[in-house]
């Protein structure tokens, strides 16, 4: 039963992403022109991310920040009014259009339409020593959207996201592709609401850089806590 569900899931990924890649040709062209006119740098942003079994792949996005933004300020975190975000980039993020190039990742097989959002290669610390809770989410392919995104997106903590990601793994094992259909439909409605786009600081008294460092350390700590059997 699981093999059938995985087959249906992959077939849906190929067909849906392929159709959208073609239909969105005007969006590729228009967005590319807007990005190039707005700021210096490439149209697309590529970053190493982890998918099923921790495998690393290059994930694509429309560039929404200045070049080398990852090495500036809040690093991987994006708080409200982040100065690294370009004018066009802010509109892309608000509408989630910056994520569209991941359709190519889905077509290639790096990702699926539904699954846990792919983390940056070093975001959780050493992959091999992750505890069971944080490693479970890697039993399935990373996704463009997932249960954590419809439950809270960036408004919830990493630990809560992992809990929802693991819940999705259980849902897929039990209900198969039906779980993907439910999450996919809810994701469409969420995307139009433009809610919970930015991450919350654990301490509002900290500046962006301080808050990001504190949050990064806490995520890695939780990801490597001893397993409780």
Q: Is the pLDDT of residue 150 over 70?
A: yes
pLDDT digits (tens, 9 = 90+) for 4-39: 989 999 999 999 999 999 999 999 999 999 999 999
Torsion on CA atoms 146, 126, 51, 137, rounded to nearest 10: -40
How confident is residue 69, by pLDDT bands cut at 50, 70 and 90? confident
Q: Is the pLDDT of residue 59 over 70?
A: yes
Q: Give the residue from 85, 146, 154 showing the smallest Cα distance to 111.
A: 146
Instruction: Specify the range with the lowest mean pLDDT, choosing from 69-73, 98-102, 126-130.
Output: 69-73
- Residue 55 contacts by C-beta under 8 Å, 6 or more apart in sequence? none
Give kind and range of the element (H or E) at residue 151: helix 147-151
Beta bridge partners of 46: 60
pLDDT at 157 (0 to 100): 86
- Residue 44 contacts by C-beta under 8 Å, 6 or more apart in sequence? 60, 61, 62, 63, 101
Q: Is 158 helix (H, G, I), strand (E, B) or coil?
A: helix
Q: Is the pLDDT of residue 103 over 60?
A: yes
Percent of the chain with pLDDT over 70: 94
Q: Is the pLDDT of residue 44 over 90?
A: yes
Q: Give the residue from 204, 228, 199 showing the smallest Cα distance to 216.
A: 199
To the nearest whole number, what is the mean pLDDT of the chain? Answer: 90
Q: Between 78 and 31, whose confidence is greater?
A: 31
pLDDT digits (tens, 9 = 90+) for 169-220: 999 999 999 999 999 999 887 765 655 566 676 667 778 887 888 889 999 9
pLDDT at 79 (0 to 100): 79
Residue 105 CA, chain-centre distance (Å), reads 12
Q: Is 89 helix (H, G, I), strand (E, B) or coil?
A: helix
Domain boundaries in the chain?
2-223
In eight-state DSSP terms, residue 198 is S
Q: How many Å apart are CA 190 and CA 96, to the nearest integer?
A: 10
pLDDT at 203 (0 to 100): 66
Q: Identify the residue whose tokens are 């975001």.
A: 123
């Amino acid at each position: 039963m699981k093999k059938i569900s995985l087959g249906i899931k992959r077939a849906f990924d190929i067909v849906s992403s392929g159709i959208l890649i073609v239909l969105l040709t005007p969006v590729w062209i228009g967005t590319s022109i807007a990005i190039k006119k707005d700021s210096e740098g490439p149209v697309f942003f590529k970053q190493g991310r982890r998918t099923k079994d921790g495998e690393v792949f290059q994930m694509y996005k429309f560039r929404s920040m200045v070049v080398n933004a990852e090495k500036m300020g809040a690093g991987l975190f994006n708080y409200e009014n982040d100065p690294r975000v370009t004018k066009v980039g802010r509109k892309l993020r608000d509408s989630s259009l910056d994520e569209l190039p991941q359709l190519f990742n889905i077509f290639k097989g790096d990702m699926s339409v539904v699954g846990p959002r792919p983390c940056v290669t070093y975001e959780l610390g050493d992959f091999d020593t992750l505890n069971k809770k944080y490693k479970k989410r890697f039993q399935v392919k990373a996704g463009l959207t997932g249960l954590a995104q419809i439950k809270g997106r960036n408004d919830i903590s990493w630990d809560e996201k992992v809990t929802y990601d693991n819940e999705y793994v259980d849902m897929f094992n039990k209900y198969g592709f039906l779980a993907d259909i439910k999450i996919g439909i809810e994701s469409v409605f969420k995307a139009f609401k433009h809610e919970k786009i930015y991450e919350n600081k654990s301490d509002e008294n900290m500046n962006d850089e301080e808050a990001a460092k504190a949050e990064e350390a806490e995520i890695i700590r939780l990801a490597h806590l001893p397993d409780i059997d």
